[in-house]
Structure 1
Amino acid sequence: MKDHDARRRNPGTALHPEWFEGIAVNTPAAERRAASLPARRSLKREWQAAWLLNAVRCIDLTTLSGDDTSDRVARLCAKARQPIAPEHLQALGVSGLTTGAVCVYPTMVAAAKQALTGTNVPVASVATGFPAGLMPLDLRLAEIRYALDQGADEIDIVISRALVLRGEWSALYDEICAMREACGGALMKSILATGELKTLTNVARASHVAMQAGSDFIKTSTGKEPVNATLPVSLVMLRAIRDYRDRTGFAVGFKPAGGLRTAKDALNWQVLMTEELGRDWLAPDLFRIGASSLLADIERQISHHVTGRYAAGHRLAAG
């Protein structure tokens, strides 16, 4: 992906437990800070439209259902190629807008690659026993290699939550390092499944280990947990990214996934990125949103901005 190639890739470091073992997150303080963020920027009219279009280019448009088919994936890819109605983009003076990526299961990668032929939209594949990750490591690594053989450009891996809950940081680090090696030149996003890590302190520590092991992105959730992306969890992960950048000079990306469904959510998370990490993190090389239904609400808001009325649901092409 050209945006990703333009910056230095995180090479990882040796394991440094001293960077994170002293962390103890004040949960009420994190929740208060996160709750205050949406009020910090009032985005109206053309400014809101611009931020919503920026969110579109950062979406990993996703289908991860047991009944996925090649036809469904092809429809999703058509939506990724043309996420907003051409007449609305023309009215806003925008062209060439696509989503950040399409995210599918390994067996759907070939169909996605075919449907995206002639575009720069990358195909991301979940792997490593998604969503639970409860498979032997050699099989998880084999799944990465299979997805790459099918043409995946990016791999979204899942970590072993039990290693976090037991504080087995060296084992977690070794596991993620092995996955990073299997990914080769493909961008690797490490899903922490934060809703299953119990505490924000665990989230912070797991974030550090994942980055030290060479993750290009850290990602909140699989979308299959009871609780997925939240603003307090995201705040903690972004501060870990900032700390890692300050220590190493390397920028790691962030991907909230699961639970972002409305245009307001898209705005809130972009405000969080801006407040905590700055505008550099508002581009798809450092920010992705894992979503399936979010795009439809963004489309409705863009339609309202351009025409003064909300489009009927049947007029918005399904992904």
Structure 2
Amino acid sequence: MQAETALQSANLPLVTEPRNPGMDLDMQWIRGVQANTSAIERRAATLPGRRTVKKDHQAAWLLRAISCIDLTTLAGDDTADRVRRLCAKGRQPVRADLLDRLGFDALTVGAICVYHEMIGPAVDALKGSGIPVAAVSTGFPAGLSPFALRVAEIGESVKAGAQEIDIVISRRHVLSGDWQALYDEMRLFREACGDAHVKAILATGELGTLRNVARASLVCMMAGADFIKTSTGKESVNATLPVSLVMIRAIRDYCNRTGYRVGYKPAGGISKAKDALVYLSLIKEELGDRWLRPDLFRFGASSLLGDIERQLEHHVTGAYSASWRHAMG
């Protein structure tokens, strides 16, 4: 992949695919889903050890990774000024001199992800950029607030200007095998989102087994999820390669059966450029090049961008810089 082609879709419109409308809950399909844990772990273990892309090709892949980042701040001490600085970084994620040396004059992240209270400052700071605001919702991160309040929260975030809503599912439905309840919940969340895209956060580290992860992925897609996402970033175990492999193959199966492409978002614990390259290679091998675009793939990350920028500076200058030279804001 050359650097020029890597960024052809860096600033895609938010919607370039027909949205997944969902389907009736197919319990026969759900019950037939299995997950061979040992085989999945063996496959995942082969990915980091492979010879990776080098030099100009690596720079191109890293630029593509930047275009797929949901640049995130979800801290209790978030302020409007912090969010505005984050948005400025999202509009100009790589120093202008480095982009110039790489032969590009424009690059943005995929979205800015914040709590509901920070939607207003984010929307104002991103005017004219084409970067959507994503808001976490439905009692994030535990998803245990009253159901009516969770649905209302989605509506308030959409009204405030969020174009993407990251919802958390009720883990108890998965752990108890109540797939109808999970489907009904997700369907109502999708309806509350309206034209805003919905990302279903599975909190995979709390679902017990890879089979549960596969089944929950399919149920959420059947209910109309536009993306399925690994984690809130607040669990003790977040995105992992085995979990990603299971979710990606569920996406592939769903697409093969329905014709609709659903997006994927690994989140939590992805902070190094080399990790981003591994995830991109997994997506390319399992789903194909079409998923290597921000309308179908996102990284949920807060510190990943800084390490990628350091790697790009090393590519341009031959020397690593201090991390503070690429501050997040």
Aligned counterpart for 1:157 among listed residues 145, 161, 167: 167
User: How many Å separate the matches in 2 of 1:68 and 1:218?
Assistant: 26
Match of 1:305 in 2: 315
Q: Does 1:36 align with 2:46?
A: yes
1:205 maps to 215
Q: What one-letter code is carried by the residue in structure 1 that aligns with 2:16?
A: A
Quick one: distance in 2 between partners of 1:191 and 1:301? Answer: 30
Which residue, out of 79, 102, 110, partners 1:92? 102
Q: Is the contact made by 1:220 and 1:229 (CA closer than 8 Å) also made in structure 2?
A: yes
Answer whether contact 1:41 1:271 (CA < 8 A) is retained: no
Tell me the CA shift for residue 314 of structure 1.
2.5
Distance across 1 between alignment mates of 2:148 and 2:212: 26
Q: How does 1:78-89 map to 2 (within 5 A)?
A: 78-89=88-99
Q: How many residues align?
A: 319
Matched with 2:243 is 233
- 1:23 paired with 2:69, answer no
Structure 1 residue 18: Cα displacement: 1.3
TM-score where L is the length of structure 2: 0.95
Matching residue within 112, 119, 126 for 2:129 = 119
Alignment of 1:281 with 2:291, yes or no, is yes
Partner residue, 2:77: 67
Of 288-297 and 22-31, more deviation after overlay is shown by 22-31
Following superposition, the deviation at residue 135 of structure 1 comes to 1.2
Aligned to 2:20: 10
Indicate yes or no: 2:183 matched with 1:134: no
Aligned twin of 2:269:
259
C-alpha distance in 2 between matches for 1:128 and 1:196: 17
Mapped to 1, the partners of 2:224 and 2:268 lie a distance apart of: 24
The answer to whether residue 236 in structure 2 is matched with residue 190 in structure 1 is no
Corresponding position of 1:221: 231
* 1:172 paired residue number: 182
Alignment RMSD:
1.1
User: Does structure 1 retain, via aligned residues, the 8 Å contact 2:133–2:164?
Assistant: yes
Three-state SS of the structure 2 residue aligned to 1:35 is helix
**Identity of paired residues, percent?**
63
Alpha-carbon distance in 2 for matches of 1:49, 1:274: 17
Counterpart-to-counterpart distance in 2, 1:314 and 1:271 = 29
Q: Is the 8 A contact 1:224 1:258 kept in 2?
A: yes
What residue ranges of structure 2 are gaps of 5+ in the alignment? 1-10
Question: Which residue identity is paired with 2:204?
Answer: T
Give the partner amino acid of 1:303: E
Flag the 1:21–1:4 CA change in 2: closer, same or farther, 3 A: farther
SS of equivalent residue, structure 1 residue 286: coil
For 2:262, the aligned partner's letter is V
**Amino acid in structure 2 at the alignment position of 1:159:** I
Matched residue SS, 1:6: coil
For structure 1, list consecutive stretches of 5 or more residues without a partner in the other structure. none
Do the aligned partners of 2:72 and 2:114 also contact (CA within 8 Å) in 1?
yes
Cα offsets for 1:65-88 (capped at 9, x unmatched): 011110110110011000001111
